A = this chain, B = another copy of it.
Amino acid sequence: MDDRECLDRLDSTATDTEDLFEHFERRTAAGRTYHALPNARHGIERGTIVIEDTVVRGYPKIPRILVIEAGVPSFFENELAVEEKLDGVNVRIANIDEPLAFTRSGYVCPYTTARAKELLAPADFFREHPNRMLCVELVGPETPYTTHDYDEIDSHTFCVFDIRDRESGEPLPVLDRRELCSEYGFPQPRLFGRYRPSQAIDGIRAAIEMLDAAKREGVVIKTLNGEKMAKYTTKSQHHEELAYAFSLPFDRGRDFVFSRLVREAFQAAEFEADDDQLRKRAHRLGEAILLPMVETIRDTANGRSIGEQFTVRGSPEQIDALLEHLYDQSLTLEINEITRENDEQIVEFVKVAEATRDQIKYYLEEGVHRD
């Protein structure tokens, strides 16, 4: 398709083609060339892709509720559904001759693509619904991008939380989507309930308290037509993210920390009426910040690897393609261990956090900070 047609189909706010297309990056994967938008621009979502004659729209950013009691009734006017939000990697799967998995920022991930084909077997679905995309969360301890553990998941799995028109991004209504997922046997997130906005507050609080006790991430709240969405997360998620950020303070800490602390404070103000509970929560928060940061300083002093550790499994070809994909993104990897189980390789590797390693090393050797 030509640029003008593409611009019309994207339904952008840009006035001319150049305005928008200068922001797209040209990439290749598995012998295909495609164009991806690395950041949201002109009303087009981050990660939107143009590949051959097909547009695959990025997944929209979900606004966050900071105060349940105010946010739910002010943000939603119509009946809503509350579903679990899982802590994994948001990937879109669309069929372009074959199913391809696109990451949030619009990369084709060969590993995720291969695993999705095996685990979701989406061929039947795409035969019936060629213009739809599956919006899935890749979750579990064995993924190359995230490491949140779920008791029920040993390796990794895909959970379909949305089905959309791949070009317009228009979602299926929540209940239709859930029925379709059942029909095709796709795993899907828990549905906590349907509520009128003013009646949802207690239900959301109860869901959050239950999820927090199980150390799970939170909820996504959607109007029944699937169009309006907001998210709300648990205390344990805030603390886990802060612990992660402060284990790599110079790679993640600075950008990451303030917004998490603000979430945490608004939730504490809403949930912790009791002063002792509030103080205990503050103690857990302090531990989430200080202990991982001190551990990373000590690990650096002791010459240990500094970075996030991942485990992935797949055929030797899948593993090779993944590692190449990660190297292409200029990541520094340390491969720690490769084992074999039947036909699969299991590879443990560290994504090296160079800024954290180098800066801490500098402070430990020079000991002085000039800002």
Contact = CB atoms under 8 A, between A and B. Distances in A.
A60 B65 CA distance: 45
Interface string A53-76: 000000001011111111110110
B246 A261 contact: yes
B66 A369 contact: yes
Interface in A101-143: none
Interface string A236-257: 0000000000100100011001
Contact of A289 (B66, B286, B366, B370): B286
Interface stretch (A17-25, A86-94, A186-194, A290-298): A290-298
Interface stretch (A165-173, A274-282, A344-352): A274-282
A302 to B, nearest CB: 11
A155 B265 CA distance: 34
A285 B279 contact: no
A363 B270 CA distance: 12
A282 B283 contact: yes
A64 B253 contact: no
Work out how many copies of this chain go into the complex. Answer: 2
Nearest to A64: B369
B262 A291 contact: no
Given A283-B282, A298-B269, A368 B74 contact: yes
Nearest to A263: B369
Which bracket fits the contact residues of A?
35 or more
Q: What 10 pairs across the A-B complex have the smallest Cβ distances?
A: A286-B286, A71-B367, A70-B367, A265-B293, A67-B367, A282-B286, A282-B290, A283-B283, A285-B286, A269-B297
23 contacts: A61-B370, A63-B370, A65-B367, A66-B367, A70-B363, A70-B365, A70-B366, A71-B366, A72-B367, A74-B365, A253-B262, A257-B257, A257-B261, A269-B297, A269-B298, A278-B290, A279-B287, A281-B286, A281-B290, A282-B283, A283-B283, A283-B287, A286-B286
Given A70-B365, A286-B288, 18 more contacts: A64-B370, A65-B367, A65-B369, A66-B367, A70-B364, A71-B367, A230-B368, A246-B265, A249-B261, A249-B265, A253-B258, A254-B258, A257-B258, A261-B289, A265-B297, A266-B297, A269-B298, A282-B283
Interface of A: 61, 63-72, 74-75, 230, 246, 249, 253-254, 257-259, 261-262, 264-266, 268-269, 272, 278-279, 281-291, 293-294, 297-298, 301, 363-371
